[in-house]
Amino acid sequence: MGCAGTASEFDCVSAMGQAAANAAFQGHWSSWVTRADLAQMKAYGLNTVRIPVGYWLREDIVYTDSEHFPQGGLAYFKNICEWAQDEGLYIIVDLHGAPGAQVAMNAFTGQYAPTPDFYVDYQFERALNFLEWMTELIHTNSSLQNVGMLELVNEPVQDPSKVGSMRSSYYPTAIARIRAVEDSLGISDARRIHVQLMNSLWGSGDPAEYLSDTFGITLDDHRYLKWTDTEVSREAYIATSCSDNRGGEFQTIVGEFSLSVPDSVQWTDSWEPSSNQAFYSNWFAAQLYAYEAQKGWIFWSWKTELGDYRWSYKDAVDAGVIPADLAAVDTSICGTASSGPVTSPSEVRVPTLGTSASSTENPTETFTMPIPTSVTKFATYSTDTLPSSTLPITKIAETVFVESVVTQPGADSTLLLAPQSSTFFVSEPVRTLASYSSVLSATATSVSTNTLSVRQTPSTYSFAKTSNDSPLTHMQHIFAMLGIVVYLL
């Protein structure tokens, strides 16, 4: 596309000139990630996409006299989000390139800056303007309704002493201003987006050190053994990954990992990809075994032009290293007796509820409505029209999984169920984890395909079809993310 020999987007645009660069990048964006890619992700059992963006997506905050970035990206970003939405995929938007660059000499920031100049008030303000703008887009643009999480900044400097202002000023201010935008739009707690921050393991200090508002906070963990002091042997990589605890104070998603190994060995006989597929397949399984002990994972990335499946999920599937059906992942390499991810795609869609005993609850408290097969998304029924109970209330351990729905507070929103221990949580399409114990009983209920059974009814219900092909547009994703990075470059 004309960027050969340049180190970053900034350098490419500077070399090509703005008009030529705009045309080149728009041609690339329109062909690199297509609707077919999103459909293939879903076919592979993935349910989440993470989209890294630069602050220059909002073009009015770019200093065009001194900052040179491709223009016109917003339309393509909306396309990607709409295609993901059509496939029922959850979306995380990540501020990957911050004003001034959050780290030095790294092209992922969009520029190959000699110093990290993000950590000053005027650059924070530009990033805050971006986050406010993106928050409003998420809540007002129909193409972005599956965006449920916004990350404040990707991979800041790994030295707590150098990013104290980020923790003490930028993080709390960003959260406050995101919530202020939501308040101005009348967004209820149930519809607020999750705010994501890099975790303490990343090395930039405790992200919650100065936070007074931790509602909807999710942590991002990036785990690349190639850049650690882990012994460089296949046995050590498997053992480390099998026992890797990436948890923290808040719910955590392993937001980046790959199958890449240290540059010094990556093309040697023991590590080169073409003859070591079995090892890389086992290592992928070991990483999934560990990362699904958290709230899920995101592989970097969907595809690349490197010709190396260790960085490309799509190429790894083509090479037979990652199975096209994630339920076929064999975790026995970590000493487990079962195969398949800790949370398999089938469990995400319609979880296996297992054996359960009938509750002593009075079944007359349950309203049940068979869902017509013609319903593909949702339909609303008044409780006055619901028939008498036809299903018993069933308590399933302390957790119930419902890929369905309750209450419709507005004509354009539908609340969806997701469980946490014995308490139900609800969210309007892919939003937050607000508790609605006053709306639903904390007692679990039984669910069968195309039928929803609930207790304690509000005045109306909105029912969604529970079937293997129903969209994953609810916060259950937070408990079972199986994802991919869609990197537009």
Closest CA to 451 of 485, 404, 489, 486: 404
**Contact present, 70 and 13 (Cβ < 8 Å):** yes
**Contact present, 308 and 315 (Cβ < 8 Å):** yes
Region for 354 from its dihedrals, namely left if φ exceeds 0, alpha if ψ lies in -120 to 50, beta otherwise: left
Catalytic residue among 151, 256, 403, 428: 256
Asked if the peptide bond before residue 446 counts as cis, ω within 30 degrees of 0, the response is no
Residue-level length of the chain: 489
Cα 34 from Cα 475, distance rounded (Å): 25
**Contact present, 217 and 170 (Cβ < 8 Å):** no
Q: What is the 3-state secondary structure (H, E, C) of 17-42?
A: CHHHHHHHHHHHHHHHCCHHHHHHHH
Active site residue 256: yes
Residue 357, CA distances (Å) to 395, 421, 442, 446 in order: 7, 17, 16, 10
Cα within 13 Å of Cα(103), Cβ side:
14
Helix (H) or strand (E) holding 151: strand 147-151
Kindly compute the dihedral angle of the four CA atoms of residues 211, 217, 218, 220, in this order, to the nearest 10 degrees: -30
Active site residue 155: yes
Cα within 13 Å of Cα(476), Cβ side:
27
User: Could you give the angle at the alpha carbon of 442 between the alpha carbons of 438 and 447, nearest 5°?
Assistant: 115
Burial of 4 (0-12, 13-18, 19+ CB in 10 A): exposed
Catalytic residue among 82, 151, 155, 182: 155
Closest CA to 174 of 135, 117, 138: 135
Which residues are annotated as catalytic?
155, 256
